[in-house]
Structure 1
Amino acid sequence: MRASRPNQVPVLQNSVVVFSKNYLPLARINIKRAVVLLVSGQAESLELSTTRSWQVRSPSLVVHVPEHIRLTVTNPERLWKMPPVNRREVLRRDNHTCQYCGSTRNLTIDHIMPRSRGGTHTWDNVVAACDRCNSRKGDRTPHEANMPLKSKPKAPIHPTVAFAEQFWKEQNEEG
């Protein structure tokens, strides 16, 4: 058995970025999945200027797997429904953290503009809040209660869009 070289990452532990047919970065997948897509003809190599590649060998085949691949099949983007505005989804969006004090205990949801004053039950009017902050704020706005929000609430975005934004941000930081 041959000893592996120090500081060498085994090939199958690397990941590949998959682009849609119209060049939208969709996801990061493992090399095994990339090999299946390439061998089955569902994807092709996408040679970018900084692209690395790896060789994956089988007894009868050598596959060159680049760092970026592009789907060749027209796959209608999977339908994504906006999650409902409920406690579980609001807590997930706000990372299970009170948006007033940062506590992670006894969390509830709070309407920024209270419903009794015409506030709606929408993504941009609901935040996670601990019992203590929710009671202290009461039937007032955060400004009236002198309780600024840690972050501005917003609706979740499509996972593909979130991945694409993160991908291009990382590319700009590297280059």
Structure 2
Amino acid sequence: MTSAMQVLEQSVVVFSQNYLPLCRVNIKRAIVLLVSNKAEPLGFSTAGGWRVHSPSLVLDVPKHIRLTITSGERMWKVPPVNRREVLRRDHNSCQYCGSNKRLTLDHVIPRSQGGPHTWNNVVTACERCNSHKSNRTPFEAGMQLRTKPKAPVHPTVSFAEQFWINVQANLE
């Protein structure tokens, strides 16, 4: 049997009105959304979930809920290309060797060769790799990027992609 504390540590996936997975919320937040009629259980989530008892109410909380209210989608802008954001995107590690010591920013195509200061051209590099690469492209320096640089995506899009990858993996 599951203890009350274990149930309260669970999370519920929240979908938008048009069934886009938005985020995970803790079970307490899910209960508030359900009781206030701001969300409804999703039909495909009848299997699984939790039964929560209070002095005056017994509530079945499903693993997936759908918002019934229109959430004014907040505008999300791609963050500026700066040191903090590039380090966050690259998980504080050199994109050439994987080190997390003495990190700098590197332009994949050097600015002197016409490389722009954009998300697709700036990566995190340790001082050693940055000085070895110098004023050359990775190909010219005989180096290879661990990941292709790209702009960050909206957090909801990122969550939705990961959600559907997990759903597909569970079906296989």
Give the Cα–Cα distance (whole angstroms) in 2 for the partners of residues 9 and 171 of structure 1.
26
Give the Cα–Cα distance (whole angstroms) in 2 for the partners of residues 91 and 62 of structure 1.
47
Give the Cα–Cα distance (whole angstroms) in 1 for the partners of residues 100 and 49 of structure 2.
43
Q: Which residue of 2 aligns with 1:22?
A: 18
Measured on the aligned residues, the alpha-carbon RMSD in Å equals: 1.6
Unaligned runs of 5+ in 2: none
Counterpart of 2:31, as a letter, is V
Give the Cα–Cα distance (whole angstroms) in 2 for the partners of residues 59 and 132 of structure 1.
64
What secondary structure, in the 3-state scheme, does the structure 2 residue paired with 1:26 have?
Answer: strand
Counterpart of 2:56, as a letter, is S
> Taking structure 1 as reference, are residues 55 and 9 closer, same or farther at Cα in structure 2, changes over 3 Å only?
same
Counterpart of 1:43, as a letter, is A
TM-score normalised by the chain length of structure 1: 0.93
5 Å-filtered alignment, 1:7-156, equals 10-48=6-44, 51-156=47-152
Q: CA deviation at 1:81?
A: 1.2
What secondary structure, in the 3-state scheme, does the structure 2 residue paired with 1:48 have?
Answer: helix
TM-score normalised by the chain length of structure 2: 0.94
Q: CA deviation at 1:10?
A: 2.5
Comparing 121-130 and 8-17, the one that deviates more: 8-17
Q: Determine which structure has the larger helix proportion and give its number.
A: 2
Give the Cα–Cα distance (whole angstroms) in 2 for the partners of residues 92 and 135 of structure 1.
22
Give the Cα–Cα distance (whole angstroms) in 2 for the partners of residues 174 and 139 of structure 1.
47
Q: Deviations over 1:1-21 (max 9, x none)?
A: xxxx48997221211000001
Q: Deviations over 1:134-165 (max 9, x none)?
A: 11111100000001111110110000000000
Contact 1:51–1:68 (8 Å) recurs in 2: no
Counterpart of 1:19, as a letter, is F
Counterpart of 1:156, as a letter, is P
Q: CA deviation at 1:50?
A: 6.5
Give the Cα–Cα distance (whole angstroms) in 2 for the partners of residues 51 and 85 of structure 1.
44
2:168 is aligned with 1:172: yes
Give the Cα–Cα distance (whole angstroms) in 2 for the partners of residues 105 and 59 of structure 1.
55
Give the Cα–Cα distance (whole angstroms) in 2 for the partners of residues 49 and 43 of structure 1.
14
Counterpart of 1:154, as a letter, is K
Number of residues paired by the alignment? 171
Counterpart of 1:94, as a letter, is D
Q: CA deviation at 1:53?
A: 1.9
What secondary structure, in the 3-state scheme, does the structure 2 residue paired with 1:160 have?
Answer: helix
What secondary structure, in the 3-state scheme, does the structure 2 residue paired with 1:124 have?
Answer: coil
Unaligned runs of 5+ in 1: none
**Divergent runs of 4+, >2 A:** 5-10
